[in-house]
């Protein structure tokens, strides 16, 4: 599977967001990761459809929308219309995960499912053949700049092995605490989509993104 960098704009400078998008574009990042938070599913609030809509015209990179919200089925159509290419919902936030995945695909987006650190990989076993991507949270969701939780790397390996056993080819994304020191462990375990917020947007954005992309070659 192709290795892609998905900078999370959660840590970007929103005062110059267009310019920051150009920097990650120039570096070669393939995705833009949007961390949508409602203050209920996670203890923080971020942004929603208006931000997606406003920057869609500035880049053709894949918009990777991570919904950290309760009952996400309420907003799937809105995010698809705002320009989302992938919409990822949390298994823990869905009453009817199988149906919500169908809804995402019916809205023309690729479907992702995310699990928090303490949620077993087996929870999503029955939908692996329906999704395009699985997001393994490598921190407890809600804030950028946290430290990676080591046991989550074992979950990446467990998921990769399960996909191979089931014969399904899906992208495996990791999100939280990924930086120049932790990226190798995530890649070695089988992750191929790398979310990085503070490791990209704190400091020299283009150089940070290029350094992570270099590790992915
Ligand atoms: C929820 C968010 C963060 C963010 C990554 O917590 O999903 O994990 O994307 O933040 P960093 O890369 O700064 O840990
Ligand atoms: Zn995220």
CATH number assigned to the domain comprising residue 52: 3.20.20.70
Q: Of 35, 38, 64, 132, which one is the catalytic site residue?
A: 35
Which residues have a Cβ under 8 Å from the Cβ of 41 and sit 6 or more positions away?
68, 69, 70, 90, 92, 93, 141
Angle at 27 between CA 170 and CA 134, to 5 degrees: 15
Torsion angle of the four alpha carbons 40, 192, 24, 32, in this order, in degrees rounded to the nearest 10: -40
pTM as predicted: 0.98
Residue ranges lining ligand 1, Cβ < 6 Å: 8, 10-11, 35, 66, 139, 141-146, 175-178, 195-199
The tens place of each residue's pLDDT in the chain, 217 residues long, gives 899 999 999 999 999 999 999 999 999 999 999 999 999 999 999 999 999 999 999 999 999 999 999 999 999 999 999 999 999 999 999 999 999 999 999 999 999 999 999 999 999 999 999 999 999 999 999 999 999 999 999 999 999 999 999 999 999 999 999 999 999 999 999 999 999 999 999 999 999 999 999 999 9
Angle at 194 between CA 188 and CA 200, to 5 degrees: 125
Name the residue of 34, 136, 138, 139 to mutate for ligand 1: max ligand atoms within 8 A of Cβ.
Answer: 139
Boundaries of domain holding 11: 4-215
The structural domain count of the chain equals 1
Residue 190 and residue 172 in contact, taking contact as beta carbons nearer than 8 Å:
yes
**What is residue 109's DSSP assignment?**
-
175 classed as catalytic: yes
């Amino acid at each position: 599977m192709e290795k892609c960098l998905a900078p999370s704009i959660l840590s970007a400078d929103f005062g110059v967001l267009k310019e920051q998008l150009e920097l990650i574009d120039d570096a070669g990042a393939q995705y833009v990761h949007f961390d949508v938070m409602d203050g209920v599913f996670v203890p923080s609030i971020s942004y929603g459809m208006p931000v997606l809509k406003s920057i869609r015209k500035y880049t053709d990179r894949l918009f990777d929308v991570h919904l950290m919200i309760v009952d996400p089925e309420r907003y799937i159509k809105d995010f698809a219309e705002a320009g989302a290419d992938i919409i990822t919902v949390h298994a823990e936030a869905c009453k009817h995960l199988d149906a919500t995945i169908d809804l995402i695909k019916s809205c023309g987006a690729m479907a992702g499912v995310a699990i928090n650190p303490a949620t077993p990989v087996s929870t999503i076993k029955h939908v692996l053949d329906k999704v395009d991507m699985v997001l393994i949270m490598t921190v407890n969701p809600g804030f950028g700049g946290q430290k990676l939780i080591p046991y989550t790397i074992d979950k990446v390996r467990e998921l990769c092995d399960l996909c191979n056993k089931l014969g399904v080819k899906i992208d495996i994304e990791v999100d939280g605490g990924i930086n120049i020191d932790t990226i190798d462990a995530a890649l070695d375990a089988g992750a191929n989509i790398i979310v990085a917020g503070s490791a990209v947007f704190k400091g020299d954005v283009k150089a940070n993104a290029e350094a992570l992309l270099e590790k992915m070659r």
